[in-house]
Amino acid sequence: MSAPTDEGEGQSLERVPQALSTREAWLDPFDWYAEMREEQPVRYDQNRQCWDVFRYEDVDRILDDPETFSSNPRLASAIDLPPEAEQSPILETMLTADGERHGRLRGVVEDWFRPRAITQRAERFEDIAADLLEDAIDGGRMDLIDDFAYPFPVIVIAELLGVPSEDRPQFRGWSETLVETPTDTSEAALEAFRQRQEQASEELAEYFEAKLEDRARDSKDDLISVIAEAAGEERLSHEEALGFCMLLLVAGNITTTNLIGNAMRCLTAHPAAMERVRTGEAPIESTIEEVLRYRSPVQALARIATRDVELQGMSIEEGDTVVPWLGSANRDPAVFDAPDQFRVDRAPNPHFGFGRGTHYCLGAPLARMEARIGLNALFERTADVRPGGERLQPVRSAFIYGVQELPIEFRPRD
């Protein structure tokens, strides 16, 4: 993982705090969170130039007040975006928009992601999972990430968008580059990293540019057509339309891959819990919620203060970057009973796994359904699932949390 540079320049989410900069610490950051919740619940990180916020009540307050805590990185005083990045479509999405603009953007696709609309597609998603597992479950061993947790959500989102799922090796490269955190923070390496990110962003934009043009001429029953239509009616600018496609592709795959991966990491570490879920004694739904809490695929968000504001006695100034740590709030003993225990039937479970407030994850119903279908499909076809490797590597990102590979061993079931 990254080690912060001396100069302390750069965007807060590009880098993890020093305390989490080793492989072990970023695989299990929870002891450090506990220490911070207790001793420095709101602290300024000089290297990353941002405020870290660890307690549930403060994370809640930040997400609940988008007027004071904006999602627009352009308002940050510590972030000097290079001119190319200023124009990047990826900054023209609902994720980084506030107020009315946010509502207008989110409204374009909202209907597609409602639980009822998503549920209608369940059968198709089950077929996709079955096809993938037919190939993967052969010799009693697989890499859960490469063989299943990665391709499954990508095929799903590619179908919803209306792009060929065979292009998925490219999607993976682009998505991973866009959420990556630099491992080497020397000047030259950072520059190369920025160029890589820029190139990925340009290539992704070019890819969707062609698709949007195609759908503007010939509309189909897919999300790109919905976005092309909104652009045609000038409800979206050209950059916003491109950013939309890019956001849905990236947000819709890496996060869900890590939800499924983290679920199996939790369950293989807790075989008795896995047995209860497999036999239906514990509901799969509450199990998924518990994974979202216990090993949240998104550990941290970023907001910019739009005015001077006080939090736990600390004075945050207008333009300061604030990082609410969802992964820490989700382990706060003030809210969760025995927070470091993985309890598949935990209730209530008011976790922040999908965020909260106006930016609450648009894809939550889809992600939940994919995880449910994916895990059930695995349970139906395997028994005695065990970890198949020792040395896990964390995903290279300062806010996305998961493992790069997850070898598992099992007995195939007929």
Give 5 or 358: the residue with its C-beta nearer to ligand HEM. Answer: 358
CA distance 250 to 207: 14
Out of 2, 49, 256, 321, name the contact with ligand HEM by CB under 6 A: 256
Per CB under 6 A, 361 contacts ligand HEM: yes
SS3 13: helix
Per CB under 6 A, 223 contacts ligand HEM: no
Name the β-bridge partners of 142.
408
Out of 79, 259, 263, 277, name the contact with ligand HEM by CB under 6 A: 259
Per CB under 6 A, 56 contacts ligand HEM: no
Per CB under 6 A, 230 contacts ligand HEM: no
For the CB of residue 409, give the shortest distance to ligand HEM in the complex, in Å.
25
Give 343 or 368: the residue with its C-beta nearer to ligand HEM. Answer: 368
Per CB under 6 A, 75 contacts ligand HEM: no
> 111 in the Ramachandran plot: left (φ > 0), alpha (ψ -120 to 50) or beta?
alpha
Binding string to ligand HEM for residues 85 to 114, with x set by CB under 6 A, is what? ---------xx----------x--------
Which element (helix H / strand E) includes 142?
strand 141-143
For the CB of residue 259, give the shortest distance to ligand HEM in the complex, in Å.
4
**Contact range with ligand HEM by CB under 6 A, out of 77-85, 277-285, 352-360, 403-411:** 352-360
Per CB under 6 A, 367 contacts ligand HEM: yes
Per CB under 6 A, 366 contacts ligand HEM: yes
Give 17 or 297: the residue with its C-beta nearer to ligand HEM. Answer: 297
Angle at 228 between CA 224 and CA 233, to 5 degrees: 150
SS3 153: helix
Q: What is the largest CA-CA distance in the chain?
A: 62
For the CB of residue 110, give the shortest distance to ligand HEM in the complex, in Å.
9
Out of 2, 49, 71, 397, name the contact with ligand HEM by CB under 6 A: 71
Asked if residues 251 and 173 have their Cβ atoms less than 8 Å apart, the reply is: no
Per CB under 6 A, 387 contacts ligand HEM: no
DSSP state of 399: S
Per CB under 6 A, 15 contacts ligand HEM: no
Out of 353, 394, 402, 407, name the contact with ligand HEM by CB under 6 A: 353
Per CB under 6 A, 297 contacts ligand HEM: yes
Asked if residues 169 and 203 have their Cβ atoms less than 8 Å apart, the reply is: no
Per CB under 6 A, 251 contacts ligand HEM: yes
* # of chain residues touching ligand HEM (CB under 6 A): 24
Nearest to 59 by CA among 290, 303, 288, 297: 303
For the CB of residue 123, give the shortest distance to ligand HEM in the complex, in Å.
18
What pairing do the DSSP bridges indicate for beta strands 321-324 and 303-305? antiparallel
Omega of the bond leading into 348 within 30 degrees of 0 (cis): yes
SS3 409: strand
For the CB of residue 230, give the shortest distance to ligand HEM in the complex, in Å.
15
Out of 173, 232, 355, 389, name the contact with ligand HEM by CB under 6 A: 355
CA distance 4 to 191: 15
Helices 223-232, 187-217: inter-axial angle, 10-degree rounding: 80
Asked if residues 317 and 307 have their Cβ atoms less than 8 Å apart, the reply is: no
Per CB under 6 A, 331 contacts ligand HEM: no
Per CB under 6 A, 363 contacts ligand HEM: yes
Amino acid at 151: P
Residue count (the chain): 414
Nearest to 259 by CA among 357, 351, 158, 161: 351
Per CB under 6 A, 178 contacts ligand HEM: no
Give 76 or 301: the residue with its C-beta nearer to ligand HEM. Answer: 301
SS3 7: coil
Asked if residues 407 and 387 have their Cβ atoms less than 8 Å apart, the reply is: yes
Q: Which residue is nearest to ligand HEM (CB)?
A: 363
Which element (helix H / strand E) includes 25?
helix 23-27
For the CB of residue 221, give the shortest distance to ligand HEM in the complex, in Å.
17
Binding residues (CB under 6 A) for ligand HEM: these are: 71, 94-95, 106, 157, 247-248, 251-252, 255-256, 259, 297-298, 301, 353-355, 359, 361-363, 366-367
